[in-house]
Amino acid sequence: MKILETARLVLRTIEAADAPFYLELVNDPDFVVHIGDRGIRTLAAARVHIENGPVRMQAALGHAIWLVARKDSGAAIGMCGLIKRDSLPGVDLGYAFLPAWRGQGHAFEAARAVVGYARDTLGLARLLAITSPDNTASGALLEKLGLRFDKIVHLAPEDPGTRLYAMQLCATG
């Protein structure tokens, strides 16, 4: 299901058929370093994770992390969307892109559309985002979007520290 469209991109719900792309993305070395090793090593495991993660969240909350595809080719290039984690007090913006598509403005384009969706369609008053402390590129992108560093949080007992960003979207909500 299409969620958003930008000048170059389509953001849509991810489905089991997207497992090959998903498997590649979550095993990208930068994904593993900055986001974490999901332990997904097979197409079957990728399909299960898609169903139990984004598909379930979309059905329950009306938002999730969405697949980002190029409009011109339909190629899946990354993911971007809104996640509700038990470890955070609100909804957060998340994104990840395959290496070949980084540095071309795709993450900013997709994330800007998602911020607008969070504000205008969902009516969220506040939006969060998290990065690993050494992911300076992601931190810079969040600040370009208008999020500001808030504090270091520990999302799990073994978490050495994660940078939490926040932005006010609406006066009420």
Q: Could you read off the pLDDT of 76-91 as tens digits, one per residue?
A: 999 999 999 999 999 9
The pLDDT value given to residue 87: 92
The pLDDT value given to residue 173: 44
Tokens of 12: 């849509």
Predicted confidence band of residue 171 (pLDDT cuts 50, 70, 90): low
The amino acid that residue 81 corresponds to is G
In a domain, 158, yes or no: yes
Predicted confidence band of residue 170 (pLDDT cuts 50, 70, 90): confident
CATH of the domain at 47: 3.40.630.30
In a domain, 173, yes or no: no
The pLDDT mean for the chain works out to 96
In a domain, 68, yes or no: yes
The pLDDT value given to residue 61: 96
The total domain count for the chain is 1
- Tell me the residue range of the domain where 103 lies: 2-168
* pLDDT of 159 above 90: no
Predicted confidence band of residue 172 (pLDDT cuts 50, 70, 90): low
Other C-beta atoms within 10 Å of 113: how many? 19
SS (H, E, C) the chain: CEEEECCCEEEECCCHHHHHHHHHHHCCHHHHHHCCCCCCCCHHHHHHHHHHHHHHHHHHHCCCEEEEEECCCCCEEEEEEEEECCCCCCEEEEEEECHHHCCCCHHHHHHHHHHHHHHHCCCCCEEEEEECCCCHHHHHHHHHHCCEEEEEECCCCCCCCEEEEEEECCCCC
Q: Give all strands of the β-sheet with 2-5 in edge-to-edge order.
A: 2-5, 9-12, 65-70, 76-84, 91-97, 126-131, 162-168, 148-153
pLDDT in tens, 6-41: 999 999 999 999 999 999 999 999 999 999 999 999
* pLDDT of 104 above 70: yes
CB 111 within 8 A of CB 80: yes
